[in-house]
Structures are given as structure tokens and as C-alpha cells.
Structure 1
Amino acid sequence: MKPDQNKILLSIAYLPTAEYFYYLMKADTIYIEQFETYPKQTYRNRCIIYSEKGEMPLIIPVTKPDGNHTKIKDVLILNREKWYLNHWRAIEAAYLASPYFLYYRDELELFYTGQHENLFRFNLKLLNTLFKLTGINPNIKLTRNFVKKPRELYDLRYAITPKKTATLNHFPEYIQVFSDRHGFIPNLSIIDALFNLGPDTMDYLERVAT
């Protein structure tokens, strides 16, 4: 049986990429994995924004209560470094001059005013806010167990990652805050498109990969 590309299996992600949001918009049903063991150096606890120096990773520090056997749903956030303040300062510095930053700022800044305990729940709440801001309304379901090779789902859990080339090969250019310094940088965190394109973000995602 071939996987159904209208039913997609994704990992949870922090301020996910345009690629991730493209699949969220296109699929009939999205399953988000919550029982995998936590892998390092992925979008599960990091995103990439466009700063004055170019690509800038923002990484949430985490701890694994059960070591290498910790499920993604049980990963905890380390708050002693006040990462949330640093992330918001970086986002504000990167996008204050963008056309729509002030329009969306208040709803996103709420996530960076204090501590959060659980990475999965934090990312899921942030995703729901991003759905509202972009106008995307995906049918989201959480997995009930871990399946290494699902037969009926289009599995992208380990395909959308900073270590690999995007699964999509076309990201139309748009004006970014620092385009004059570093040119167009594709497939950043969705907030890059949101702050620069505003209500046209969904239309942009429709043109991705076409």
C-alpha cells in the first residue's frame, strides 16, 4: 500500500519553516508525532530567522528526563538561561522594520514573556497561534503510538530538517528586511513570511513548489 499524501505525518516543530506550513496547508489530515524518542539538532527545538548577519538559528535549551529514551512529548525546557527573552530580542531586532511586525507582535510576544515547562505543549500552542495568524486551518491529530514505518501515512518526520535540502524545490522570492545585504533566503521560519507578507502569507504558500 502506498502512503496517502493527503495524510501526512510530521514532527512537532518550533516556529516551523515555510516548507512545513506548505504541507500543513495541502494535506487533508496532519498527524503530529508525540511518541518518538527525541532527536538532536532538528527543528523540534530550533528555528532559523533572517538577521542583519544572515541566517540566525534560535535554539530552545532542553533536558531529557529519561535520557536517550525520552519521548518528544516528555522533553522539558531549560529556563534558567531565560532563552525566551533572548529569542524575542532577536526576533524583534530582525523584524522590527518589516511591514507587518507591529501588526502581529502582541500575539506572538505573549509566548516570550515567561517560562514554559514542556517543549511539545509549548510548540503546539505556538503552532495554533500561527494557524490563526496565517489563516491556515489544518486538521491536526496527535499520534497514539510510535510506528517506525507507517504504511498509510506520508512520513515527513525526518525529512524536514536543518541537515537536509528542502523536499520542495521552489520558493518564490519576496522582499525581506535584509535582502539588500544577503539576498533572498528561502524556507526560513514561517514568521519571516508572516512579518514580510502579512495577509498574503497563505497566497505565498500556495505558490511554493509550483
Structure 2
Amino acid sequence: MTGLIYSTYFPNIAHFWAVINADSIHLEVSDNYQKQSYRNRTEIYGANGKLALTVPVSYTQKNRQLYKDVKIANEEQWQLLHLKSLQSAYSMSPFFEFYIDDLMPLFEKQFDYILDFNLTCFEILTNSLQLNTQPIQTTAFEKEPIDKIDYRNLVKRNSEVKTFEPYTQVFTEKHGFIPNLSILDLLFNEGPNTELYLKKQELVLI
């Protein structure tokens, strides 16, 4: 089974469920960029609950741009802010110190384009999870893909999935379980058990 997903900023758990449970993965890189999606946004569990981290981009709705052509607005100090947010949210998690060094290139190197950044993000995460995934980038946009399971709707911020099985999160006692956050939430809390957890889940779109 081949899955088709978008490359996003620290993809959520549903995205990585698709990666883990597919025989191969195609990354959609041939469409027009759309705002209000997870292309440049991820959600983590902060001390006050769900916290959104957004990569600023230079984009105007008036002139359509291909995803690959959208630039990051690097005049804002977003990388430092996001790193500090992750440290504040997860420094007390069991596996934060184990994985944070792998992620540091995403905060130390300046990227010009959001797609290049997201592709690097995906590569680092799959390496951290020790997955043998060799994703294939699309060369043309298909509205109705052939021979692929289409998970591209997961990129929409209003897409909902059936709640995955709860696992222990840093602030569970304070705010309860928050489902389908960034894969980082699962990785920092479950570590090497992440792949097994994902294989046990069932993805149901609501």
C-alpha cells in the first residue's frame, strides 16, 4: 500500500501513522500553497495546554504560489522562539535529551523555503525513529491519485481523527490527554516505543 501525504512542520501523529503503516510513501510537493494548514504549523503540549508553533512565511493569497516557491520570513526570530517553546514543554519528558540533538539542525541552519525545511524535518524525524522510509516526491499534482491512499486531507487544520489511545504526556495531570499533537510529543514521551504505539493504532477520519 502506498500512502500520499504532505510534508509538514513536525507532522502530527496521524501523519506518522500513515508513514508507519504504508509500504511506501509519496510526498505531495506539486500543488499550490494554501494557508491555514499544517504546512507551516505544528501543535505541542505546553504548560497551559495545546500550543501552536507557526513558521512565518511570505505569501499572498492574491497571487497563487506553488508550495515549493513559498519563502520563510526569516526576519522574525522564529527558530529561537520555537526551540525555547520545545525546551519549556518537554525538558522534563523521558526522552527529550535523547532526541533533541538530532533536531538541532532545524533550529541552527537558516532555510529559505518552507518546503525545503519541511522535507529536512521529515528526514530527520524518520532517521530518529530509525525508519527505512525512502519517500518519493510527486512530480505532478493529481486531484484523484491512482494506486495511492490519499491522506492529504490530514494537512488541514480542521481535519479530525478518532482519538488515539492515550499515552502519558508531561502535563496530563494538569490538562488531561491531548490527542494528535506533533509527532514530537509522542517521541519525547514514548521514545523507542513510538513505532510500536503507531502500529497498534487505527486511523479513523471523523
Q: What TM-score, normalized by structure 1, do the two folds share?
A: 0.91
Aligned-residue RMSD, C-alpha: 1.6
Matched, 1:12 2:3: no
Name stretches of at least 5 consecutive residues in structure 2 with no aligned partner.
Answer: none
Alignment of 1:79-158 (within 5 A): 79-158=74-153
For 1:15, what is the secondary structure of its paired residue? coil
Matched, 1:196 2:206: no
Match of 2:177 among 184, 188, 199: 184
Range with greater deviation from structure 2 (183-192 or 64-73) = 64-73
Q: 1:11 Cα shift?
A: 1.3
For 1:73, what is the secondary structure of its paired residue? helix
**1:54 & 1:102 partners in 2: Cα distance?**
22
Match of 1:209 among 186, 192, 202: 202
**1:186 & 1:28 partners in 2: Cα distance?**
25
**2:63 & 2:94 partners in 1: Cα distance?**
43
Give 1:24's aligned residue.
19
Task: Tell me if the contact between 1:42 and 1:162 (Cα under 8 Å) persists in the aligned partners.
Answer: yes
Q: 1:170 Cα shift?
A: 4.4
**2:74 & 2:180 partners in 1: Cα distance?**
28
**1:179 & 1:157 partners in 2: Cα distance?**
30
Alignment of 1:168-179 (within 5 A): 169-179=162-172
Letter in 2 for 1:62: V
**2:85 & 2:180 partners in 1: Cα distance?**
18
For 1:10, what is the secondary structure of its paired residue? strand
Q: What TM-score, normalized by structure 2, do the two folds share?
A: 0.93
CA displacement, residues 57-91 of structure 1 (integer Å, 9 cap, x when unaligned) = 10000113895421111111001111111100101
Give 1:48's aligned residue.
43
Change (3 A) 1:35 1:53: same
CA displacement, residues 26-50 of structure 1 (integer Å, 9 cap, x when unaligned) = 1112111111100111111000000
**1:151 & 1:92 partners in 2: Cα distance?**
42
Q: 1:174 Cα shift?
A: 1.1
